[in-house]
Amino acid sequence: MSSSNVTQLLINWREGDKTALDKLMPIVYNELHRIANNYMRNQPSNHTLQSTALVNEAYLRLAESENLDLQNRTHFFAVAAQMMRQMLVNYAVARNTEKRGGGQFKLSLNEAIEVAQEQDWDIIALDDALKNLAVMDERKSQIIELRFFAGLSNEEIAEVMHLSLATVNRELRVAKAWLHGQIKASDIEP
């Protein structure tokens, strides 16, 4: 189905058509599952959450959202990716609280944002860094979300955000370096 058809279903849903989301989900399910797989790829093998559970929970949260103004296909996937990330963060926080700080689950930032060193980063630290980036520079944060969590190409991001490809490339390099520094700094602090 084309991007415009997905966008039309989102508009219909926003305008009160309760069946539009049910029509949309089979169309976008595989893409949502790919996003969930990206998150779960670096979780421990004994992690009790699975990709399908993340997709289903994201669907339930989307269906229950009353004031969600999803503009288009890209915005839909960005919001769904953010919901999945938040579910993993909530899960990690609950587990860490349960274990009194031990056994934190890791998410490989290297695979997500192609940094040079081989090291796993704590998903909570990644989430904190992304929140800080959003406060500092919302556009860079959106570019990171769209590129690495929604899986859009730099060209697609440029089109959706009405930016030049050169601007997207530059903002992405700066955001990746900033995130890397933030997460590395969080590992050093006691």
Whole-model pTM: value is 0.65
Q: What is the pLDDT of residues 10-20, one digit of tens each?
A: 888 888 888 98
What phi, psi does 31 have (nearest 5°)?
Answer: -70, -40
Indicate the domain borders of the chain: 1-104, 108-190
Question: Which CATH fold would you assign to the domain 108-190?
Answer: Arc Repressor Mutant, subunit A (1.10.10)
**What is the rounded average pLDDT of the residues 162-189?**
86
Q: Is the pLDDT of residue 165 over 90?
A: yes
The mean-pLDDT minimum among 8-22, 58-72, 165-179 falls in 58-72
CATH class of 1-104: mainly alpha
Exposed e or buried b for every residue in 130-159, given b needs 16+ CB within 10 A?
Answer: beebeeeeeebbbbbbbbbbbebebebbbe
